[in-house]
Structure 1
Amino acid sequence: MPDPTPGSRLPTPDGPPYFPTVLPSSSRAVFAALRHRNFRLFLTGQFISLCGTWMQTVAQGWLVLHLTDSAFAVGLVTAMGSLPILLFTLYGGVIADRVNKRRFIMVLQCLMLVEALTLGVLTTLDLITVEWVMGLAVFFGFLTAFEVPARQALVAEIVDREDLMNAIALGSSAFNLARVIGPALAGILIATLGLPASFFANAASYLAVIVSLVRMQVPHAEGRSVTPLWTALGEGFGYIFGKRWPRALVIIVTTFSIFGFSFMPLMPVFARDVLGLDASGYGVMVASVGAGALAAAFFMAAFGSRVRQSRLVLGSSILFGAVLIAAALAPNLWSAVLLFTLCGGVMALNGIAANTMLQTEAPDELRGRVMGFYSFMVLGLAPFGSLQAGWLAEHFGVRVAFSLGGVVCLVVASAVAWWMGRAVRELRDRREQRGGVVELERRERQ
């Protein structure tokens, strides 16, 4: 059977493999998507801005811990910042399909700059309180709910379809390289210049992405959807839940968002209270997650087109649960660095494969809504994960919170893999039966 063409579906109406397993040859080059000028500008600006965002993330977690000395407060601030994403991301996906995405993102980035600047000024003047941090986190979450679907959908407008997976992998590489650099810089700035320096650095970093968006020229960027809001949302839901593989992705991504990724907000507590580290050690530990994810992202950029994406999603899901359990038991900094590096790598493999499976198949007119729903699962459900992990850490310890999350991810991923494996076997049996009947009829006609 010949390889499917870009964007085509394999002839399996309700069973795996639902998405193409072989992507275009041009995506096999590590930097194929960089041949597009708009994407080069976009990626450069995003990388600088993401470094600043990670600096603020580290500094904000340390600030809340300093103000409250409470693991639950750290989780609560993260949860409150994610709550607007839960409430508005689906609507943000609809908006992304209706507006000029480049201009829309520019406005949102300007408002994010104001948020970071405000946090820095309040901290400098010693007027900051946990209530202020929480309020600004909610405001940032509201902006993120609209920015993320538009930003992810914009990528498909500035690269060719055959370079889409490579663009996603390079975007993940930039994100995770920033995750390495940002926390490391934050640790240095906190130790030398104090917490406000990280917030001001983040505010300055938004200028890079704003300038890159101004210089981009995106043809046909105007949105096309004019259907009513609830009808538009229904179209997106119908696409997501209409096939077996998207449903499997929903189960896995939802589980990871609530029980797996919730270890990230608790890393300052794990660093200080379990391993006895200072801000610099905490920054190293957070950076290790980014280092693993960066390595995995480069692997996907170079070799992702040669790997069956469905198997990669299922395999990485199971492996992540096991590694997170091991990380919860880490006795010192360097064992934690090793295990969190593995966590970051497996997370990146899983995220890139799932993102590619959705974006490659999504129709142009639905891509904003599809990515809005994906963002809703990845980011919008995080408040529940932060709250449950924070509560568990407060009452039973951080190791228990991490371990329980790993166990849930491992069990659910294994169950989904068994379910999808059975579906594959049933589909193969039906094909063999149909093939046998066709062969018998052919012989009878002879």
Structure 2
Amino acid sequence: MATAAPQASVQPARPSMFSSLRNRNYRLFAAGQVVSNTGTWMQRLAQDWLVLKLTGSAMALGITTGLQFLPMLLFGLWGGAIADRYRKRPLLIATQTVMGLLAATLAVLDLTGAVDVWHVWLLAVGLGLATAVDNPTRQSFVVEMVGRKDLPNAVSLNSANFQLARITGPAVAGLLIAAIGTGWVFAVNAVSYAAVIAGLAAMRERELNPVVPVRREPGQLREALRYVRARPDLIATFALVGFIGTFGFNFAVTLGGFANQVFHAGPGAFGLLNTVFALGSLAGALLAARRGRSRMRMLIGAALAFGVLSVAASLMPGYWSFAIALIPIGIAGITFNTAANSTVQLGVDAALRGRVMGLYMLVFMGGTPLGGPLVGWIAEQFGPRAALFFGGAVSAAAAVAVGLVLARNSGLKVRVRVRPHPAVHLVDRAPSTSPEPVAV
């Protein structure tokens, strides 16, 4: 009697680290972003150094950061609505053009010796206005290029792209500032936007998966708010993103203070701190690219790790020990960012994606006008160590609070088993027919 041969078990394919790059349109997008992100990071360091040179004030640096993100707080939702109402590729070409012109203006002011701190602040507001439209448009455009299956991978690769630029940008900027000054760094950044515009223009329209633009109607912003309010998972994610984005991710203020005030170093050492931090972030992004969809417990764990590691770094005694401590902070921070971004994008309706991502970016970046000056004030009054400690402590506390609320609302409690080995499990309070523990 013939018997059927046993079937080999089919193992799920492990995600490829670079699967999104099989898509031609995404390759063009990523290539342009490498160039433009490098220029952006060069300008960030040059702008910070210029403000410190003009004012010598950490609080002025915090105000600059706050003003750049203030439009996201005020107009982030409207930026998301614009992203839903128009075709995203032409809209991105327009926003990138405006950003390039703003960088060119700052370059001319600096090179002619006419720049004052109020010029920097005014142009920071202009950049923030363009960013309020560009960010939700760019975030929601990714799924139109690669589809839902490769979206988590593309989000992670975008973060890796951003962090790779963060490694090279500050290092090059530090050398250029020391050699020829900040003005030429701004000029290089202005030219770098041409790479993004060229990549967008060269895309094949037929290979995109565009979402049909939403007609302008009253109540569209309220619709997005109601949608998020009805989703506890989104509310929890937004809460974590809000606290950590507002109080934790203020390294533009704290790293400059550590380099200038704590370690009494120059622009090269400041650039190196940014580079080391980006190395950790790049490693975290590449690790995230191999994962599938994120779970809430990983999101909370990454947020908690980021806060605890930030507190530990604030206590490091020397320049090199502090620099090394930035690596795991970068890993934890980018793990949190990519998990939060892909969780939101994959969990929302396509017609609302622009508005929800506008709200996401509002929460993530819009709190910086409050957190930036506050952290800058703490750095000025009590020192950069106190500022970094404060940001890390708030981030860790937020992670613990959100985790406890989710556990309580899900009917979970902690049970400790002593035999045969100590272990901690989450179990449902209500009677259940399943013997498996319930995980968050």
Corresponding residue for residue 221 of structure 1: 210
State the 1:431 CA deviation: 6.9
Query: For 2:95 and 2:320, how far apart are their aligned partners in 1?
Result: 39
Preserved contact between residue 107 and residue 184 of structure 2 (Cα < 8 Å) = yes
- Farther off after superposition, 35-44 or 243-252: 243-252
Query: For 2:33 and 2:131, how far apart are their aligned partners in 1?
Result: 14
Query: For 1:326 and 1:340, how far apart are their aligned partners in 2?
Result: 10
- Farther off after superposition, 390-399 or 203-212: 390-399
Does 1:102 find its partner at 2:101?
no
Corresponding residue for residue 311 of structure 2: 325
User: 5+ residue gaps in structure 2?
Assistant: 1-10, 414-426, 436-440
- Farther off after superposition, 349-358 or 395-404: 395-404
Counterpart residue type for residue 221 of structure 1: P
User: 5+ residue gaps in structure 1?
Assistant: 1-23, 437-446
State the 1:238 CA deviation: 1.9
Query: For 2:372 and 2:99, how far apart are their aligned partners in 1?
Result: 22
Identity of aligned residues (%): 38
Preserved contact between residue 116 and residue 203 of structure 1 (Cα < 8 Å) = yes
Corresponding residue for residue 272 of structure 2: 284
Counterpart residue type for residue 314 of structure 2: A
- Farther off after superposition, 417-426 or 237-246: 417-426
Preserved contact between residue 258 and residue 382 of structure 1 (Cα < 8 Å) = yes
Query: For 1:112 and 1:282, how far apart are their aligned partners in 2?
Result: 25
Preserved contact between residue 306 and residue 332 of structure 2 (Cα < 8 Å) = yes
Query: For 2:305 and 2:412, how far apart are their aligned partners in 1?
Result: 25
Cα deviation 1:148-179 (Å, max 9, x = unaligned): 00000000101121111111111110011111
Does 1:184 find its partner at 2:171?
yes
Corresponding residue for residue 160 of structure 2: 173
Query: For 1:215 and 1:74, how far apart are their aligned partners in 2?
Result: 38
Preserved contact between residue 180 and residue 291 of structure 1 (Cα < 8 Å) = yes
Q: Superposition pairs for residues 353-372 of structure 1, below 5 Å?
A: 353-372=339-358
Corresponding residue for residue 424 of structure 2: none
Counterpart residue type for residue 290 of structure 1: A
Counting matched residue pairs gives 410
Q: Superposition pairs for residues 253-264 of structure 1, below 5 Å?
A: 253-264=241-252
Query: For 1:42 and 1:332, how far apart are their aligned partners in 2?
Result: 40
Distance 1:435 1:315, change over 3 A: closer
Corresponding residue for residue 70 of structure 1: 57
Query: For 1:169 and 1:435, how far apart are their aligned partners in 2?
Result: 35
- Farther off after superposition, 60-69 or 338-347: 338-347
Query: For 2:392 and 2:214, how far apart are their aligned partners in 1?
Result: 40
TM-score of the two chains, using structure 2 as the length reference: 0.89
Corresponding residue for residue 93 of structure 1: 80
State the 1:236 CA deviation: 1.3
Corresponding residue for residue 421 of structure 1: 407
Corresponding residue for residue 374 of structure 2: 388
State the 1:392 CA deviation: 1.1
Pick from 142, 145, 149 the counterpart of residue 132 of structure 2.
145
Query: For 2:129 and 2:13, how far apart are their aligned partners in 1?
Result: 37
Corresponding residue for residue 419 of structure 2: none
Preserved contact between residue 35 and residue 195 of structure 2 (Cα < 8 Å) = yes
Any idea what SS the aligned residue of 1:28 has? coil
- Farther off after superposition, 396-405 or 146-155: 396-405
State the 1:432 CA deviation: 4.3
Preserved contact between residue 101 and residue 222 of structure 1 (Cα < 8 Å) = no
Query: For 1:120 and 1:211, how far apart are their aligned partners in 2?
Result: 22
Any idea what SS the aligned residue of 1:161 has? coil
State the 1:337 CA deviation: 1.3
Does 1:236 find its partner at 2:235?
no
Query: For 2:434 and 2:312, how far apart are their aligned partners in 1?
Result: 47
Does 1:159 find its partner at 2:158?
no
State the 1:203 CA deviation: 0.8
- Farther off after superposition, 253-262 or 61-70: 253-262
Pick from 245, 251, 258 the counterpart of residue 239 of structure 2.
251
Corresponding residue for residue 83 of structure 1: 70
Preserved contact between residue 87 and residue 213 of structure 2 (Cα < 8 Å) = no
Cα deviation 1:63-101 (Å, max 9, x = unaligned): 000000111101011111111111111101011011010
Query: For 1:276 and 1:384, how far apart are their aligned partners in 2?
Result: 27
Any idea what SS the aligned residue of 1:228 has? coil
- Farther off after superposition, 310-319 or 124-133: 310-319
Query: For 2:335 and 2:154, how far apart are their aligned partners in 1?
Result: 14
Corresponding residue for residue 114 of structure 2: 127
Does 1:310 find its partner at 2:271?
no
Distance 1:25 1:121, change over 3 A: farther
Preserved contact between residue 51 and residue 60 of structure 2 (Cα < 8 Å) = yes
TM-score of the two chains, using structure 1 as the length reference: 0.88
Distance 1:426 1:309, change over 3 A: closer
Counterpart residue type for residue 397 of structure 1: G
Q: Provide the aligned C-alpha RMSD in A.
A: 1.9
Cα deviation 1:95-119 (Å, max 9, x = unaligned): 1011010001101111111111111
Preserved contact between residue 27 and residue 165 of structure 1 (Cα < 8 Å) = no
Any idea what SS the aligned residue of 2:149 has? helix
Counterpart residue type for residue 249 of structure 1: T
Query: For 1:292 and 1:233, how far apart are their aligned partners in 2?
Result: 37
Counterpart residue type for residue 380 of structure 1: G
Pick from 47, 51, 61 the counterpart of residue 48 of structure 2.
61
Preserved contact between residue 77 and residue 221 of structure 2 (Cα < 8 Å) = yes
Any idea what SS the aligned residue of 2:250 has? helix
Query: For 2:254 and 2:389, how far apart are their aligned partners in 1?
Result: 13
Corresponding residue for residue 271 of structure 1: 259
Corresponding residue for residue 114 of structure 1: 101
Structure with bigger helix share is 1
Does 1:39 find its partner at 2:38?
no
Distance 1:27 1:73, change over 3 A: farther
